[in-house]
A and B are shown apart, each in its own frame.
Chain A
Amino acid sequence: MGLLDIQNLSVDFQTAGGLFRAVDGVDIQCERGEILSIVGESGSGKSVSMLAMMGLLPWTAKINADKMVFDGKDLTKISKRERRKIIGKDMAMIFQEPISSLNPCFTVGFQLGESLKLHLGMNRAERKKRSIELLELVGIPAPETRLSAFPHQLSGGMNQRVMIAMALSGDPKLLIADEPTTALDVTIQAQILDLLVSLQKEKEMALILITHDMGVVAETAERVQVQYAGQRVEEQHVTGLFTDPHHPYTSALLNALPERAVGRKLPSIPGVVPGQYDRPTGCLFAPRCAHVQDDCHGNVTRQSAELGNALCNHPLNAKVTA
């Protein structure tokens, strides 16, 4: 049985101009010890769907799901108190900007100790010992002295390591990393990605990596889910996705990568992601799609797993056309 099973998740935000659907019927499944990557551009609902699962969205958000099961517990049915026991322990999350996710008023040691006290009920001495172990685990040199450091005294890469240590404090079964390296330099990004993957292997936890960087996806993920304008448009194994994308959006996105360009001119996708007021009927990608046909403005069918679960009436298939 899978660790995480979300079916038909929708999130609507109450805005001045009416309801805005940020996540539109998304399914997410994740097995134990698996690396799942969710890719998409800004506004594709990749962060919001994870925040909804963590219960971190403000009250203006309306969350609906047919099923939201984590580790055998249905998150939509349990009380807030019980949910708080899971979140931060079995299910942890790290964010894009480490410097703004840490509290500038407290030392690293205090912030690490907080979750150890709350979730594991450790006393002061145990907490200190465990904090040092955790900092060592994420590769911070001289962990004893770092415990009394404030976040502003550490670099961006070090702060992200502290965030990872905090997330690992409860031995999570699932770690959600929301753009963990976007704010970091490339050489530090390589260090953090290597650390995440090695920890994932060592602890046998599941890792959901949210990113917009196709390079990061190609190098770390096992299974990839592509989102566009709040919908899941494709889901495939990583090698299949890069060699044989089925949804026109995935294919266009890959072609827009500068490293795949043949000439001086990049094949770009015309137009922009639809917003609140110009959401098309039928396929949301249709106005920008190069393969659009008349029936794309009506109902859209979900293809089979061989065709990458593509949400498309006319999926691409390299094997057939080749």
Chain B
Amino acid sequence: MSTAINAVDLKKHYEVGGGMFRKPGLVKALDGASFTLDAGKTLAVVGESGCGKSTLARLVTMIETPTEGSLDIEGKPADSSSVDHRKAVQIVFQNPYSSLNPRHKIRTILEEPLRLNTDMSAEDRGKRAAQTMERVGLRPEHIERYPHMFSGGQRQRIAIARALMLNPRVLVLDEPVSALDLSIQAQVLNILADLQAELGLAYLFISHDLSVVKHIADDVMVMYLGKVVESGAAKDVFANPRHPYTKALLSATPNADPVAKKERIVLTGELPSPLNPPAGCAFNPRCAYASDKCRTSAPALEKLGDVEVACYHPVG
């Protein structure tokens, strides 16, 4: 199996504020993430807002360059000036209402990547656009329509079709179904599963909805305040979460079964400010197991059974 993406210790720091006499603050939006994504597999990145999951998406799609660390795409260091790399990684955004230009016809939207990156003739571009429309379950004759004439689910299909136009190897899916209704969400998830089976795509699936992640992911990476706290195969992480944060996150997710009684760990407090993160383990102010050691030094991600966990007091 070929490796689509290999990231080692990716970091992205932003400078914020500051002025003539004041030093700017440093936000460590992403502070060391390592992972491998194989072709045909789905890696899900899970976490609350501000945990750095969208920053990771921006790094993998080469919209931003990492402050530190290395990113390899199909065995070669990521290079945003390489046409091959730009073609290999494509992204689908959360909100299909704002990611499609309202003034362009679907034809223009779908053909634009081909026009910019290939030397296909207009006729071939049109054919390819029509094929891709069909592949995502839309009628090819709707290609002359404008985005406002479609519903949310159909628009997300158009966004997926646009991402597929250049035959990518990796799709970065940044919360692709969280703006959609339940019945439509199932349709889009099915299309994504079909496409993966058919084309051998690798998915970097970013989501906060754990029930969706459990359904679609092969591997899971749980993030908290820019750091990876737990990663491993989805079935292991969901069956037996080892990090207290993963455990709390899983128990906080509402379960659509009114009969099942379960203990719910309600975390106190909120996500600390990334401008001024707590010393030691970033999770220690909200953690029930925190000790003095957790307040002074940050645990590294270490192998523990089947998964990797960054915690001094793993549970379970």
| Interface residues of A, Cβ cutoff 8 Å to B | 41-42, 155, 157-158, 185-191, 193-194, 212-219, 238-239, 241-243, 252-254, 256-261, 264-270, 272-273
Contact = CB atoms under 8 A, between A and B. Distances in A.
B266 interface: yes
A194 B267 CA distance: 11
B258 A258 contact: no
Contacts of B301: none
B151 to A, nearest CB: 5
A191 B258 contact: no
B240 interface: no
29 contacts: A41-B183, A42-B152, A155-B271, A158-B270, A186-B210, A187-B48, A187-B267, A188-B270, A190-B254, A191-B267, A212-B182, A213-B254, A215-B255, A218-B257, A242-B256, A242-B258, A252-B183, A253-B183, A254-B256, A256-B182, A256-B183, A257-B211, A258-B186, A258-B214, A258-B216, A259-B215, A259-B255, A266-B215, A272-B153
B187 interface: yes
Contact of B181 (A41, A158, A270): A41
Contacts of A190: 252, 254, 264, 266-267
Minimum-distance CB pairs A-B, first 6: A215-B254, A268-B186, A258-B215, A41-B181, A185-B48, A190-B252
B252 A257 contact: no
Contact of B211 (A187, A194, A258, A264): A258
Contacts of B259: 239, 242-243
A258 B189 contact: yes
A185 B49 contact: yes
Per DSSP, are chain A's interface residues mostly helix, strand or loop, or mixed?
A: helix
B212 A258 contact: yes
A264 B253 contact: no
A211 B140 CA distance: 35
Contacts of B211: 215, 257-259
Nearest to A220: B254
Interface in B200-214: 208, 210-212, 214
B88 interface: no
Contacts of A212: 181-182
